Structure 1
Amino acid sequence: MKRFQVGQQLQQLHWKDINGNAVNIPDAGHFVHLQFRRFSGCPICNIHMGQLKARAQELRNNNIKEVIVFYSEDKKIQQNLGDIPFTLIADPQKKLYDYFGVERSLKSVLDPRAWPAAMGGLLKNISRALRMLPRDDESMFGLPAEFLFDLDGNIIACKYGEHAYDQWTVDELLNQLHSQVLSSSKDSIA
């Protein structure tokens, strides 16, 4: 399976979010943090979504546009994550996952490093979590992946997760951005 790497430039991609709005990457006005998550009811993903939501203003202040892709249908994402202030994309056929080389594996949930987040997400609201378990073509075996694009569509950082809770924290994302922007400004001065 092909995987993208730092330094590659993304050709212009056009999608629709769950509300039918156009989503373009690259976005000349923003750095884009493109995340691939699992299903929209995923207790592990929802912990991460909560952390991002709590720091949404900080992400905006750093000119980062969050674009998050799920296996789920539009309606399911709206039901489960309607209060998330980011661009959400439904990809139930997993075309974008395949395009970006995002894998699915049993090890996503069998890896002990994912268990604390899974338990925390389930215990936070067990009745809600049980109602939100994967349905239809959703899968709990997806591995996360994320990409940080500059204004021209160059990948300035990327991560393919090894288990279901293997993604950047908000601090790690901001560090990735600042180190890349700082290094590119040094290169342009030299």
Structure 2
Amino acid sequence: MSDQLQHGDTAPLFQMKDQNDKPILLENNRGRKVLLAFFRNSACALCNLRVHQFIQRHQAWQQQGMEVIAFFESPEANLHKYVGQQNAPFPLIADPEAEIYDVYGAETSEAKVQATLSLPGIQEKISVQVEEAGFKLIPEEGSNFNRIPAEFLIDEKGIIQVAYYGRLITDHLPYETIERFSAGN
């Protein structure tokens, strides 16, 4: 894993293909803000819930000039089978070898996963949240169970304004921070 990125760093460029086989180049988003999210895997119920919440907010974010790009450490077939069923209006990118995860310093940590799962009542809370939203806790065979989420807010010039590395598998960038960034505040 490479070093973690920080506020003020230039966002590393990448060129990948999304769930629709469309080329996605970060540099093509110059002039627009970007929410770049690194999720655990495409079957992760918490990740699917977060994508669902992104979909609900996407139109407003897009009107404010912000794009969303979401990475999953999963094979493309699994991307279509799981999170791809949500028909996200933004790119979902399979990165099964974690190449871009490594470039952005997204972490793998068994200790953080275990710390999350050992929190009192967390497993029941997670089950309720995801099942109420219609998602199921499904293990994705061959996936990296120990991946920790990371999210980045990148400005119109390609500069990272917020680099958020989760402390637990349930830890994401607060929506208030994303909303302020999207609105230009």
Q: Which runs of 4+ in 1 moved over 3 A?
A: 113-117, 121-126
Give secondary structure in 1 for the equivalent of 2:101: helix
Paired amino acid for 2:92: L
1:174 maps to 2:179: yes
User: 1:110 and 1:73, CA in 2 relative to 1: closer, same or farther beyond 3 A?
Assistant: same
1:101-121 deviation digits (Å, cap 9, x = unpaired):
111112235322864653235
Runs of 5+ in structure 1 lacking a partner? 183-190
Whether contact under 8 Å (1:16, 1:89) holds in the other structure is yes
Task: State the alpha-carbon separation in 1 of the partners of residues 11 and 173 from structure 2.
Answer: 21
Give secondary structure in 1 for the equivalent of 2:70: strand
What is the match of residue 162 of structure 1?
167
What is the match of residue 136 of structure 2?
129
Task: State the alpha-carbon separation in 2 of the partners of residues 59 and 109 from structure 1.
Answer: 34
Under a length normalisation based on structure 1, what TM-score does the superposition of the two structures give? Answer: 0.82
Deviation at 1:177, TM superposition (A): 4.2
Task: State the alpha-carbon separation in 2 of the partners of residues 39 and 13 from structure 1.
Answer: 19
1:89 maps to 2:93: yes
Deviation at 1:162, TM superposition (A): 0.4
> What is the root-mean-square deviation of aligned Cα atoms in Å?
2.3
Q: Looking at CA atoms only, which structure, 1 or 2, has the larger radius of gyration?
A: 1
Paired amino acid for 1:68: A
Give secondary structure in 2 for the equivalent of 1:129: coil
Runs of 5+ in structure 2 lacking a partner? none
What is the match of residue 21 of structure 1?
22
Percent identity of paired positions between Structure 1 and Structure 2: 25
Task: State the alpha-carbon separation in 2 of the partners of residues 29 and 4 from structure 1.
Answer: 21
What is the match of residue 11 of structure 2?
10
What is the match of residue 187 of structure 1?
none
Deviation at 1:33, TM superposition (A): 0.8
Whether contact under 8 Å (1:108, 1:162) holds in the other structure is no
Whether contact under 8 Å (1:70, 1:91) holds in the other structure is yes
1:60 maps to 2:62: yes
Task: State the alpha-carbon separation in 1 of the partners of residues 182 and 61 from structure 2.
Answer: 11
Deviation at 1:169, TM superposition (A): 3.6
How many residues end up aligned between the 2 structures? 177
Give secondary structure in 2 for the equivalent of 1:146: strand
Deviation at 1:146, TM superposition (A): 0.9
Give secondary structure in 2 for the equivalent of 1:135: coil
